[in-house]
Chain A
């Protein structure tokens, strides 16, 4: 079946704009993760969903970051009033449930100018 998809693949935002990043997980995958990968760094955990429930948002860097997964499938990561430090690749991953393998999407590269 299809893998994890993310859209858009690239996004350029002016500082202060709001952005929304979409993740389509593999069908039937219960768990969904968002990670932020700054240039030259490893991915860092942002938030975790089990079905529609957001069980962990401890990695969200500020209250400008918000994620949702209302029907337990597609997820959206929203960043309000973007700042330059938000520039990064945002990765989404899904899995059936722990301890199963996480499958990653191609990421969305966000550039804030």
Chain B
């Protein structure tokens, strides 16, 4: 069975600085998807970024980018120029490519942004 581990329960960053959230996963599959979701205090989960395992190029969405290391089974999220609105819980998630689509989530990292 696949597992997702987020080893940082809480992180803090100064506004305008850069922060990196860590995620590791375990799988025997060769093709899959990885995601980072943001869950603000209102609790509506929002997709931040997606990576397909067969693509070697790291995904980027504006200030958000990932460092995908397939051999190490590592998938970290870098947030550049942090903003107050980035404060939220961040969840790393895994999905098997051939599956119906259900996501396997890590326990999350609570990100605080200091003004």
Contacts and interface: CB of A to CB of B under 8 A. Distances in A.
A102 B91 contact: no
Nearest to B93: A42
Contacts of A40: 107-108
A62 interface: no
B42 A106 contact: yes
- For A43, A89, A107, the residue with the greatest tally of chain B CB atoms inside 10 Å of its CB is A43
A45 B4 CA distance: 13
Q: Give the bracket for the number of chain A residues in contact with chain B.
A: 20 to 34
A18 interface: no
A48 B43 contact: no
Given A42-B91, A43-B91, A31 B44 contact: no
B103 A43 contact: yes
B33 to A, nearest CB: 7
A104 B45 contact: yes
A99 B8 CA distance: 28
Interface in B33-82: 33, 37, 42-47, 50
B25 interface: no
Contacts of B97: 99
Contact of A106 (B33, B44, B47, B102): B44
B100 A31 contact: yes
Contacts of B85: none
B100 A50 contact: yes
A91 interface: yes
B104 to A, nearest CB: 7
A107 B43 contact: yes
Interface of B: 4, 6, 33, 37, 42-47, 50, 91, 93, 95, 97, 99-108
Interface of A: 3, 31, 33, 35, 40-45, 48, 50, 55-56, 59, 89, 91, 93, 95, 97-99, 101-102, 104-107
